[in-house]
A and B are shown apart, each in its own frame.
Chain A
Amino acid sequence: MEKHSGKKVNNGIAIGKILFYSKSKDKIETKKVENPEQELARYEVAKEKAIMQLGALYEKACKEVGQENAQIFDVHSMLLEDEDYNDSIHQMIMEEKFNAEYAVAQTGENFSRIFSEMEDDYFNARSADIKDVSQRIITVLKGYEDEEIIGKEAVIVVADDLAPSETVQMDKSKLLAFVTKYGSTNSHTAILARTMGIPALVSTPINEDCNGLMGIVDGYEGIFIINPDQETLEAYKEKQEQDSQEKELLEGLKGKEDITLSGQKINLYANIGNVDDLKSVLENDAKGIGLFRSEFLYLEKDTFPTEEEQFNIYKQVAEKMKDKKVIIRTLDIGADKQVDYLNLGHEDNPAMGYRAIRICLTQTDIFKTQLRAIFRASIYGNLSIMYPMITSVSEVRKIKEIVEEIKEELTAEQLPFVDVEQGIMIETPAAVMISDLLAQEVDFFSVGTNDLTQYTLAIDRQNAKLDCFYDAHHEAILRMLKLIVDNAHKAGIWAGICGELGADTSLTRTFLEMGFDELSVSPAKILPIRKIIRETK
């Protein structure tokens, strides 16, 4: 039996087999394929995709560093089209019947060796270019396979670190818990674990030797046990049982109103990341969706989701929720949420970088596609839109201009829509300070406490070393919350909280006292918070 301590991200007890997940690029499988023609076709598709990615990188680099410096991406795509390179891959697949990943990796290796053996530093360095483009195809190939990370059996997923795009791929019904070696308590993996209501630990000293062994994750104490002895296992099984009994108690709160003993009502909504989460929203009896994180539509794919694809998703959510409010947050990519095809590039300070509404107001075509999809879906339910990362009144006015354009387009195309409530996230100190002005422009405020705290306290959410300085209950944040809700009410609009702090049960009473009209929390937190609200005087 081995015991490791980690930082707890979400409570609960999980008992099950451990699956150690290592990044796909670390291992390249060698296998013989039965159908080489099909394998070759896979390669060709992946190559085209890689060339498209490089094309997008080239365009972006042209704008930023000039055509001359951008040409390296052009050279990269030419490398992928090189006859000798392709001949070698064709031969390995067609004649030796190797899988495409291996053929590309081996060919990349062979050709890069030609350069690394040359007696010239410049040409030596070109071996990296060949490896780089080969890796790009392999990555596309791996993505293409869409291999299930988790098999048939439910498992505790253990990894060095997990990117949001990796966690979204996992089959959630087979996921018992997360344990990661790196990552902070505020990472997106952590948020996902809370949304799913499964135990999770980060900063846990683990290695891959635990793969396949039995494990226990104690999300209450922050302990990860590998290969537990019988006694420990029994004790935890009992604890798990108690846990589910408590959950049963909360079941009794379903269908009840979110109202205090003195009659103060508050809207208790849920935060969701994709359509699958709807199930737990309804199960936990949330009265609406206060934050639909639309970026998962973008993270799950290799290319931009089309208007039709988005429309179908929004329509589905609107219909399922019927007359209950669904607040869709527009694209909030950037910072720790990255998508390859957007080619956002490296930023020294991504949290303060090109993200969220800044992308939408720069690349308006992306924004317009999303807005059109939302407006078209508006006739199927009770939709609202919320814009992230606002810092100024002029941004809001620009958004409204774009929305007007969209509406005119839709009217001209005779596509039906209804007017929806439009609100903004208050997640920058700037937005807090001018919340009186912003309140004149919009229908509601929703406070994004995670970013607001990070910007106010100057603490990087991704840096685990700073967790000890990160005080979610900092007086500065509490004062800001009060200011926001007061300014909202003065202008006659409503204010809510959709950040992690909204689910902090030790603050529920404080939020009620401040006068917040809405709290949007992960579905698993709905009933515990309802319990507190109903016990408040």
Chain B
Amino acid sequence: MKTFTYKITDEQGIHARPAGMLIKEAKKYQSKIIVSADEKEAEATKLIGIMSMGIKCGTEITVTIEGEDEELAVTNMQSFFKQYL
């Protein structure tokens, strides 16, 4: 299991467009990827789940990744968040 935290810098938070991109990215991996923040959590492959968390700018999220390709996933997910969120 791999975990990292990230503070959202996108002004709008995880809004529809980047959420869509996040889902596409997360679906590339076999590992289960969970995003959690403020006692809420959702699977990163579920668009409505992620969007309904209402993650805003400045929120610190925790990403937990577990599965066969977790090594690759953690590296790529980290750079995804840095680049887009």
Whether A122 and B12, one on each chain, are in contact in the complex, defined by CB atoms closer than 8 angstroms, is yes
Whether A79 and B47, one on each chain, are in contact in the complex, defined by CB atoms closer than 8 angstroms, is yes
* Shortest Cβ distance from residue B6 to the other chain A in the assembled complex, whole angstroms: 20
Whether B48 and A75, one on each chain, are in contact in the complex, defined by CB atoms closer than 8 angstroms, is no
Closest B-chain residue to A123, C-beta based?
A: B54
Chain B, 37-70, contact with A by CB distance < 8 Å: what is the 0/1 string?
A: 0000001011111011010100000000000000
CB neighbours (8 Å) of A79 from chain B are 47-48
Whether A130 and B16, one on each chain, are in contact in the complex, defined by CB atoms closer than 8 angstroms, is no
Whether A85 and B48, one on each chain, are in contact in the complex, defined by CB atoms closer than 8 angstroms, is yes
Say yes or no: is A120 at the interface (Cβ < 8 Å to chain B). Answer: yes
State in angstroms the CA–CA spacing of A82 and B51 once bound together. Answer: 11
State in angstroms the CA–CA spacing of A72 and B19 once bound together. Answer: 11
Whether B16 and A82, one on each chain, are in contact in the complex, defined by CB atoms closer than 8 angstroms, is no
| A78-B20, A78-B23, A126-B51 known; A83+B46 contact, CB < 8 A | yes
Say yes or no: is B17 at the interface (Cβ < 8 Å to chain A). Answer: yes
Closest A-chain residue to B52, C-beta based?
A: A114
Whether B20 and A84, one on each chain, are in contact in the complex, defined by CB atoms closer than 8 angstroms, is no
Interface hub of B20, B43, B49 (most chain A Cβ within 10 A): B20
Whether B48 and A84, one on each chain, are in contact in the complex, defined by CB atoms closer than 8 angstroms, is yes
CB neighbours (8 Å) of B52 from chain A are 114-115, 118, 123
Contacting residue for A84 out of B23, B24, B49, CB 8 A: B49
CB neighbours (8 Å) of A118 from chain B are 52, 54
Closest B-chain residue to A74, C-beta based?
A: B20
Whether B16 and A75, one on each chain, are in contact in the complex, defined by CB atoms closer than 8 angstroms, is yes
Say yes or no: is B32 at the interface (Cβ < 8 Å to chain A). Answer: no
Chain A, 80-96, contact with B by CB distance < 8 Å: what is the 0/1 string?
A: 00111100000000000
| A71-B20, A74-B20 known; A123+B51 contact, CB < 8 A | yes
State in angstroms the CA–CA spacing of A24 and B69 once bound together. Answer: 48
| A82-B48, A85-B48, A130-B48 known; A72+B54 contact, CB < 8 A | no
State in angstroms the CA–CA spacing of A74 and B47 once bound together. Answer: 12
Say yes or no: is A111 at the interface (Cβ < 8 Å to chain B). Answer: yes
State in angstroms the CA–CA spacing of A74 and B20 once bound together. Answer: 8
Say yes or no: is A129 at the interface (Cβ < 8 Å to chain B). Answer: yes
| A114-B52, A120-B56, A126-B51 known; A71+B46 contact, CB < 8 A | no
Closest B-chain residue to A115, C-beta based?
A: B52
Contacting residue for B16 out of A85, A111, A129, CB 8 A: A129
Number of A interface residues at 8 Å Cβ cutoff, please give it.
22
* Shortest Cβ distance from residue B63 to the other chain A in the assembled complex, whole angstroms: 19
Please report which residues of chain A, range 111-132, place their CB below 8 angstroms from some CB of chain B when the two chains form the complex.
111, 114-115, 118-120, 122-123, 126, 129-130
Contacting residue for B17 out of A75, A83, A84, A114, CB 8 A: A75
* Shortest Cβ distance from residue B85 to the other chain A in the assembled complex, whole angstroms: 15
| A75-B19, A122-B15 known; A83+B45 contact, CB < 8 A | yes
State in angstroms the CA–CA spacing of A282 and B56 once bound together. Answer: 69
| A78-B23, A82-B46, A84-B46 known; A115+B16 contact, CB < 8 A | no
Whether A71 and B47, one on each chain, are in contact in the complex, defined by CB atoms closer than 8 angstroms, is no
Whether A120 and B54, one on each chain, are in contact in the complex, defined by CB atoms closer than 8 angstroms, is yes
CB neighbours (8 Å) of B24 from chain A are 78
CB neighbours (8 Å) of B16 from chain A are 72, 75, 126, 129
CB neighbours (8 Å) of A115 from chain B are 51-52
* Shortest Cβ distance from residue B62 to the other chain A in the assembled complex, whole angstroms: 20
Closest A-chain residue to B16, C-beta based?
A: A75
Whether B17 and A82, one on each chain, are in contact in the complex, defined by CB atoms closer than 8 angstroms, is no
Whether A78 and B17, one on each chain, are in contact in the complex, defined by CB atoms closer than 8 angstroms, is no
CB neighbours (8 Å) of A130 from chain B are 48
State in angstroms the CA–CA spacing of A396 and B24 once bound together. Answer: 47
* Shortest Cβ distance from residue A535 to the other chain B in the assembled complex, whole angstroms: 69
State in angstroms the CA–CA spacing of A114 and B42 once bound together. Answer: 14
Chain B, 12-34, contact with A by CB distance < 8 Å: what is the 0/1 string?
A: 11011101100110000000000
CB neighbours (8 Å) of A74 from chain B are 20
State in angstroms the CA–CA spacing of A167 and B45 once bound together. Answer: 43
CB neighbours (8 Å) of A72 from chain B are 16-17
CB neighbours (8 Å) of B15 from chain A are 122-123
Please report which residues of chain A, range 478-493, place their CB below 8 angstroms from some CB of chain B when the two chains form the complex.
none
* Shortest Cβ distance from residue A133 to the other chain B in the assembled complex, whole angstroms: 11
Spell out A's residues near B (CB within 8 Å): 68, 71-72, 74-75, 78-79, 82-85, 111, 114-115, 118-120, 122-123, 126, 129-130
A sample of 25 cross-chain residue pairs with beta-carbon separation below 8 angstroms, ordered by A number, consists of: A68-B17, A71-B17, A71-B20, A75-B19, A75-B20, A75-B47, A78-B20, A78-B24, A79-B47, A82-B46, A82-B47, A83-B43, A111-B48, A114-B48, A115-B52, A119-B54, A122-B12, A122-B13, A123-B15, A123-B51, A123-B52, A123-B54, A126-B51, A129-B16, A130-B48
Spell out B's residues near A (CB within 8 Å): 12-13, 15-17, 19-20, 23-24, 43, 45-49, 51-52, 54, 56
Q: A84-B46, A115-B52 are in contact. List 16 more A-B contacts (CB 8 A).
A: A71-B20, A75-B17, A75-B20, A78-B47, A79-B47, A79-B48, A82-B46, A82-B48, A114-B52, A118-B52, A119-B54, A122-B13, A126-B16, A126-B51, A129-B16, A130-B48
The 10 A-B residue pairs with the shortest CB-CB distance, nearest first, are: A75-B20, A75-B16, A82-B48, A82-B47, A114-B52, A123-B54, A71-B17, A118-B54, A78-B47, A78-B20
